[in-house]
Amino acid sequence: MGKPTGFIEYLRELPLDRKAIDRIKDWNEFHLHMEEKKLREQGARCMDCGIPFCHTGTLLSGMATGCPVNNLIPEWNDLVYRGLWKDALDRLHKTNNFPDFTGRVCPAPCEGSCVLGINSPPVTIKNIECSIADHGWEEGWIIPEPPRFRTGKKIAVVGSGPAGLSAAAQLNKAGHTVTVFERADRAGGLLMYGIPNMKLDKKLVVQRRLDQLTAEGVQFVCKTEIGKDISSQQLMDDFDAVVLCTGATKPRDLPIEGRNLKGIHFAMEFLTANTKAVLDGHTNGDYISAAGKDVMVIGGGDTGTDCVGTSMRHGCNSIVQVEILPKPPMDRQPDNPWPEWPKVYRMDYGQEEAAAVFGDDPRVYLTTVKKFMGDECGNVKEALTVEIKWGKNEKGQFVPTEVPGTEKIRPVQLVLLAMGFLGPEQPLLESLGIERDPRSNAKAEHGKFTTSIPKVFAAGDCRRGQSLVVWAFNEGRGAARECDRFLMGQTDLP
């Protein structure tokens, strides 16, 4: 611990973001960089706690607490404070294959469980992590490192999202020959198409890691869907092991009157097509545009925020984000103690941008949509919303009930459903004969990741359900470790 009094001497500081009114004019990342002196001061705020909760990933009250990939946070905070950036990068890469991703898109449960955060603003762990990785690229320290030997074992990884990439990276390090199958036209899965470019740059940040993996020997086969382009049986015949990392891509629908009207889309249809258009230079025109439209986003999570930010860049006429839950409090409540994730009110980037243009946070709380109304051409024209309140039913379950007299008709020409996901798509699991859990996920115990079919492993959202990118990295690494043990009888993978 290089600066025992750092947490007393320095206040929490974050790098500035580009002004909301300016950044909505392009698709570039909106975070600015912080000078090294300030970063080192922020590293000095780490207390080197006797029992650091920040790197012990677990679940408390159903929310992530601490880092799910067990980053050695106090160690690399101290190394940054001392200016030992390469050592910090080496320490960070011990637990995280892609810190440049998590440093941008992870909600930082580590900061929610920072001991300093009990009575002061927590350490800026996420920004320091991102800065270490970016520093590594700038200095040329991150280079392809192919394995020194090959085992002769062939492994198929199905899906190139965060779980698939981390599994592939680790299995390749162990010397296995890894082929990653991706049904989209570009590798990266959620990282490529599910997260907008202004949060995670594709051509620079994502592609450079894909290029690194390719140079290390990982083969990516895109535009290939298992079960259609390659049969499940052929996959089983051609490879010594299979790791399923297909994600939880079945969206939750809203089966109300008017749902079949044109102009109502799942969030991922909207975000995926838009990112593809951005990468193609908006030359194809094959995307859902919010330009000049009154937009309604239904759902209050990260995906909903991404829909808001994307709609703002399109130039929407207005935007409202409907959230069925109550507005979070400004401060931690007694029933949400440290080190639980603090359930407090936050303005994310999309809401900041909407407020900069339209004057207020676009979210309306304790509200649901009753029906959609259309015009004579079958296009959505209006939505009928109603306020709700939560209470217990006769079984003791919390359920929403409508508040009489609060109905409101809102003009809307584009509706984006961002209400989460119900689990993985089922055809591949069915064709392989994989046993599923009650939530339709591939049944495989965390820590073992073995499915009901020999030599087939499952990791990430297709196993645990919709979750954080950092949990997908945890599971991809864990599945790689167990797959390596299965093939070789033992494993040295962390």
278 and 369 co-located in one domain:
yes
406 and 450 co-located in one domain:
no
Which residue, chain included where needed, has tokens 């999570």?
301
Give the C-alpha separation, 362 to 379, whole Å.
23
On the 0-12 / 13-18 / 19+ scale of CB atoms within 10 A, 489 is: exposed
- Would 22 be classed as within a structural domain? yes
List CB contacts of 487: < 8 A, sequence separation 6 or more: 151, 153, 155, 176, 240, 241
323 and 400 co-located in one domain:
yes
List CB contacts of 226: < 8 A, sequence separation 6 or more: 158, 181, 183, 232, 235, 428
Determine phi and psi for 296, rounding to 5 degrees.
-120, 125
Name the residue range of residue 361's domain.
Answer: 253-419
Q: What DSSP assignment string belongs to 137-169?
A: HHTT-------SS--S-EEEEE--SHHHHHHHH
Task: Return the SS3 of 391.
Answer: strand
237 and 325 co-located in one domain:
no
25 and 173 co-located in one domain:
no
- Would 493 be classed as within a structural domain? no
388 and 465 co-located in one domain:
no
Q: Mark which of 419, 437, 465 sits at the end of a domain.
A: 419
342 and 290 co-located in one domain:
yes
- Would 147 be classed as within a structural domain? no
Residues of the chain with pLDDT under 50: none
Identify the CA nearest to 81 among candidates 166, 15, 6. Answer: 6
Q: What is the pLDDT of residue 283?
A: 59
pTM of the predicted structure, to 2 decimals: 0.94
243 and 257 co-located in one domain:
no
376 and 242 co-located in one domain:
no
Cis bond upstream, residue 494 (ω within 30): no
pLDDT digits (tens, 9 = 90+) for 266-313: 999 999 999 999 998 875 678 999 999 999 999 989 999 999 999 999
296, amino acid identity: M
- Would 97 be classed as within a structural domain? yes
Report the 10 Å Cβ neighbour count for 452.
14
Domain count, the chain: 3
Q: What DSSP assignment string belongs to 163-188?
A: HHHHHHHHHHHTT-EEEEE-SSSSS-
Q: What is the pLDDT of residue 430?
A: 95
| Cα pseudo-dihedral 439, 440, 442, 445, rounded to 10 | 20
Q: Report whether 400 contacts 389 (CB < 8 A).
A: yes
131 and 201 co-located in one domain:
no
- Would 494 be classed as within a structural domain? no
Q: Mark which of 394, 419, 444 sits at the end of a domain.
A: 419
29 and 121 co-located in one domain:
yes
Task: Return the SS3 of 398.
Answer: strand
Report the 10 Å Cβ neighbour count for 83.
14
Task: Return the SS3 of 390.
Answer: strand
Q: What is the pLDDT of residue 1?
A: 63
39 and 126 co-located in one domain:
yes
Q: Mark which of 138, 164, 186 sits at the end of a domain.
A: 138
Instruction: Output the domain CATH number for residue 167.
Output: 3.50.50.60
CA 363 to chain centre: 21
Determine phi and psi for 419, rounding to 5 degrees.
-105, 20
Instruction: Output the domain CATH number for residue 94.
Output: 1.10.1060.10
